[in-house]
Amino acid sequence: MTDTATEAPAAAVRPSVPRPPGPGPLRRVLTGLLWLPALAVVLLAVAGPWLVPGDAGRIVGGPYSPPGPGLPLGTDAIGRDVWDRFLAGGRPLVIVPLVATVLTTVVGTLLGVLAGYLGGRVAAVMSWLDSLLLALPPIVVLLALLHGLGYSAGTLLLAVAATGVPFVSRISRAATTRVVRTGYVDQAVALGDGPLSVVVREIVPNILQPVLADAGTRLAVAIALTASADFLGFGPGTPSWAAMVSENMEGVTLVPWGVAVPALGISVLTVAANLLLDRLAAKGAS
């Protein structure tokens, strides 16, 4: 029916962590150890900008000054406070990707359910459209949009959505088709349910699990794309963890914190995002 070339294997089996091995209490401790730093970083990223006393763009000393009183992590490439910039630079990596992921998932699911429910030509056209977008590497789409629109939250949203919607719609289409084939839908229709009611009551609950599981990947990709734009130098110049990594690389032997701390922040954030949606999906399944 559809080209296998367009069948993303990402669909059903996305990376996920099985539950830690061992007896119950140990497992709980292990899980807790995973979650605590993740929560701390997310909190820090969101609340950080409120904790910066002054202007995080202020030059307070020489470039790459070592840590000292009032400068817990030293200064960056042009003499700004690394700790202040770390506090101020996490939020963009949380807000924009989160909104983008919700948008991508909602739009993708709607399209996928529509195609899966209606089937036939609609599904074929939709599948073809998906395959088009999938032929463009996300970073190329991002750069083309940056080229045309310049850097803004809107550009990032658009880039994440354009590259993510095909994946989501593909997954929800496949899941919808499965549900339709089970016969529940026919049954519901026979009982006199309208299409909307069928979709809401029969289809959506049954496809939630794969869609949520995929949302973890979407969020990770959204964070990676947002961060990549900053890393490649297209950011607005306001503090950003990703930009910090590239800005402070040269002085990494002098003040490693300017690279290490934001890099750690990004890592924990993305891993946490993945784990969180993973658990949600698992809950949804059980």
Partner 1 sequence: MSGGRAPLRLPRLMARRLAGAVGTLFTASALLFLAAEVLPGDAAAASLGGGADAGQIARMRAELGLDRPLVLRYLDWVGSALDGDLGTSTVSHRPVGELVTDPLLDTLLLVALSVLVTVAVATSVGVLAGLRPGSALDWLLSAGAVALVSIPQFVTASVLVLVFASALGVLPAVSLVPLGGSPLDDPAALVLPVAALSLFSAAWASRMVRASVVEAGRSPHVESARLAGLPEHRVVFRHLLPTTIGPCLQAFAWLTGALVGGTAVVERVFNYPGLSAPLVSAVVNHDTAVLEGIGLLLSGAVVVSLLLADLLDLVADPHGSVAR
Partner 2 sequence: MPTSNSLGRRGVLQLGAVTGVALSGLAALTGCGAEDSAKSAAGKGISTDRLRVGAADASGSVSIDPRTAGFGASYVILYHLYDSLMYLKGGAYELGLAESVEANRDATEWTIRIRKRATFHDGRPVTAQDVAYSLRTLAVPPSKRATVYADVDVDRIKVLDATTLTVPMRRPRGDFRESVLVVFSPVFPEGTTDFSKGIGSGPYRLAAQDGKNVRMTAYEGYWGGRPAFGTLELVSIADAATRMSALKSGQIDYAMGITATAAKAERDNRAIELHRGGVANSNALSFAMNERIAPFDDPRVRRAVRLAADRGALAANMLDGMGVTGDDVVGKGLPGYAGLAERRRDVAEAKRLFAEAGVSKLTLHAADTVAGFTGAARLLGQQLDEAGVKLTVDVVPADTYYADLKGLSSIPFQTFYYTNRPAAVHLSALTNRDAFFNVTGLADEHWKRLDAAQATVDDKAREQRFVEIQRDLYEHGGDLLWGFQEVVDASVAGVRDVVFSQSIPVFTWAKASS
- Binding footprint of partner 2 on the chain (CB under 8 A): 57-59, 62-64, 77-79, 237, 249-251, 253-254
Q: Which does 242 bind (CB under 5 to 8 A by kind): partner 1, partner 2, none?
A: partner 1
- Give least dist CB 55 to partner 1, A: 27
Gap between the Cα atoms of 281 and 69, Å rounded: 46
Q: Which does 245 bind (CB under 5 to 8 A by kind): partner 1, partner 2, none?
A: partner 1
- Give least dist CB 91 to partner 1, A: 17
Q: Which does 181 bind (CB under 5 to 8 A by kind): partner 1, partner 2, none?
A: none
Query: Where does residue 206 rank: exposed (0-12), middle (13-18), buried (19+ CB within 10 A)?
Result: middle
- Taking a C-beta distance cutoff of 8 angstroms, is the pair 56, 87 a contact? yes
- Please name the residue that has the structure tokens 């891993």: 271
Q: Which does 7 bind (CB under 5 to 8 A by kind): partner 1, partner 2, none?
A: partner 1
Which CB atom, from 255 or from 273, has the smaller least distance to partner 2? 255
Q: CA–CA distance from 109 to each of 8, 81, 166, 189 (Å)?
A: 16, 43, 10, 21
Q: What burial letters (b/e) apply to 267-278, b meaning 16+ CB within 10 Å?
A: ebbbbbbbbbbb
Query: Where does residue 248 rank: exposed (0-12), middle (13-18), buried (19+ CB within 10 A)?
Result: buried
- Give least dist CB 243 to partner 1, A: 11
**DSSP state for residue 239 in the 8-state scheme:** -
Which CB atom, from 77 or from 211, has the smaller least distance to partner 2? 77
Which CB atom, from 31 or from 238, has the smaller least distance to partner 1? 31
List residues binding partner 1 (CB under 8 A). 1, 3-5, 7-10, 12-22, 131-141, 143-150, 220, 223-224, 227-228, 231-234, 242, 245-246, 249, 252-253, 256, 259-260, 263, 266-267, 270-271, 273-275
- Give least dist CB 254 to partner 2, A: 5
- If you write DSSP's letter for every residue of 42-63 in order, what string do you get? HHHHHHHHHH--S-TT-B-SST
Position 259: which residue type?
A: V
Q: Which does 63 bind (CB under 5 to 8 A by kind): partner 2, partner 1, none?
A: partner 2
- Give least dist CB 253 to partner 2, A: 5
Q: Which does 53 bind (CB under 5 to 8 A by kind): partner 2, partner 1, none?
A: none
Token pair listed for 10: 């990402």
Which CB atom, from 60 or from 143, has the smaller least distance to partner 1? 143
- Please name the residue that has the structure tokens 């300017």: 258
- Please name the residue that has the structure tokens 């359910």: 113
